[in-house]
Amino acid sequence: MQRPQQDEYGESLANASVLVIDDEPGMRNFLTKILSPRCKRVEQAASAAEASAILDRAYFDLVILDNIMPGKTGLDWIREQNQVGLYSDTILITAYADLETAIKALRTGVADFVLKPFRANQILNAVARALDRQNLRRENYLLKHELSAEANVARGRLLGNSAAICDARDMLKRLAPLPTPVLFTGATGTGKEVAARTLHSLSDRAEKPFVAVNCAAISPDRMAQELFGVIDEQDRRRDGLFLHAEGGTLFLDEVVQMPDQVQAALLRVLEDQRVRPVGAERDIPLNLRFLFATNADLEKAVEEGSFRADLYHRINVVTIDMPPLRDRSEDIVELAALFIQQFATTLGLPALELDEETLLKFSRYDWPGNVRELRNLIERSVILGAFPDKFSGSGQITGVQAMENLDLVVQRHIMHILDECDGNRAEAARRLGVSRKTIDRKCASWGV
């Protein structure tokens, strides 16, 4: 397959699909000839009826159509299509540039219009402008969505060297090249979104959007419109998050909070890879990787009837359970040192120093809020210039020295858990979330 030309009209054309509608074969062939070498896909229709049939089965980024065709004008056809769902931007080509036509074109939602006769560079510039505006709208929407998301979600890497985190990281690498849906489970603050972002960054979709949606933050009566999009009573189209994430990854957090009717619609999207906006009569094909997360027991929700069994089985293909921080205490030093550095740099404040006693208290704390709680505590401590009394220690050492004393912290914590378990290494391994072999190996290295 020949790759689209790369020239001054930009990469937007190379990734674009265009439908040309004109009753004159010469004009259709001319437009197809100049667009095909530069665009991913170009199709043509000789009539409005043929174009409608094509749009029923395929999606196009852009439609170029003549305003004067047998039976109806291009503007009349656009108005009709808006009622059933026209998801493409349009460029009108016309030989009559009167003011009335221009006003009607703007009211109908035409992106641009080009006067006949025109040269190749004129239509190519119009196409490039329309696609650039389309991409800019999408990027602007995604940026606003990202900024309005929960502010304290960690956007960084999946950090840590505990056995549980290493297992999760290995699984992410294995799943990255696959289109398989993944369900992340675990308590609040365990890093489910961080893991999902890591999976996206490892995949071949890394350059495409990653869109995170907290289903618990959207009112149930608006969730369908926010996700699938909507065509309102004035036939105006507003794309949903599914379309804005096209080509990338969609992460649905707290999926258990979805209303039943949205669950049914989501199941259809997963089965068909097509989405139908609210109020539309036409589907749009999707190219998305779906990731899901919940801190609830989905099996119990299915038994109680609050979550659809068919949807549960559809998304529960591969499950990654994110471990709580109390079961990966050996990662606390790395996380704490990173958060201190981040907040000191971001806030322009002195970095706190960690000492052995503080790290030991960190390792013994239960962390019900997990990594998110640790992150918030570090941010607050950097702002106030000291750790809370229950974590503060004496004999200050630097963060680098703290990293060097990691083995000592781990040793004290494991010995503390062993004492609580009366020396039962199997039970201590279960509480720590590591294998029995890990405990045996650690104890042997310490001469215990």
With beta carbons less than 8 A apart as the criterion, state whether 209 and 143 touch. Answer: no
Residue 158 is predicted with a pLDDT of 80
Q: What is the pLDDT of residues 344-396, one digit of tens each?
A: 888 899 988 887 788 888 888 889 999 989 999 999 999 999 999 888 765 44
- The Cα–Cα gap between 103 and 339 comes to 55
- The Cα–Cα gap between 131 and 409 comes to 56
- The Cα–Cα gap between 443 and 445 comes to 5
Going residue by residue through the chain (448 aa), what tens digit of pLDDT does each one get?
A: 455 555 566 667 888 899 999 989 999 999 999 999 989 899 999 988 899 889 888 889 899 998 888 777 888 888 888 888 888 889 988 877 667 777 777 777 788 888 888 889 999 999 998 888 888 887 877 776 666 554 444 455 688 888 888 899 999 999 999 999 999 999 998 999 999 999 999 999 988 889 999 999 899 889 999 999 888 777 677 888 898 888 899 999 999 999 999 999 999 999 998 888 888 888 888 889 999 999 999 999 999 999 999 999 999 999 999 999 988 888 888 888 888 988 888 889 998 888 778 888 888 888 999 998 999 999 999 999 999 988 876 544 444 444 445 566 667 777 777 887 888 888 887 776 667 887 888 888 777 7
Burial (CB count <10 Å: 0-12, 13-18, 19+), residue 437: exposed
Phi first, then psi: what are they for 42, rounded to 5°? -135, 125
Q: Which of 393, 371, 296, 358 is nearest to 326 (CA)?
A: 371
DSSP characters over 74-139: HHHHHHHHHHH---SEEEEEES---HHHHHHHHHHT-SEEEESS--HHHHHHHHHHHHHHHHHHHH
Bridging pattern class, strands 230-231 and 237-238? antiparallel
Q: What is the pLDDT of residues 309-329, one digit of tens each?
A: 999 999 999 999 999 998 888
Hey, what are 367's tokens?
A: 């962390």
- The Cα–Cα gap between 107 and 306 comes to 44
How many other C-beta atoms can be found within 10 angstroms of the C-beta atom of residue 84? 15
- How many residues does this entry show for the chain? 448
- The Cα–Cα gap between 242 and 286 comes to 8
How many other C-beta atoms can be found within 10 angstroms of the C-beta atom of residue 4? 19
- The Cα–Cα gap between 250 and 263 comes to 15
What domains are there in the chain, each with its CATH number? Answer: 11-135 (3.40.50.2300), 163-323 (3.40.50.300), 326-446 (1.10.8.60)
What's the Cα-to-Cα distance from 300 to each of 217, 319, 418, rounded to whole Å? Answer: 22, 16, 33
pTM assigned to the model:
0.70
Burial (CB count <10 Å: 0-12, 13-18, 19+), residue 211: buried
What's the Cα-to-Cα distance from 141 to each of 41, 135, 226, 303, rounded to whole Å? Answer: 26, 10, 12, 38
Residue 152 is predicted with a pLDDT of 41
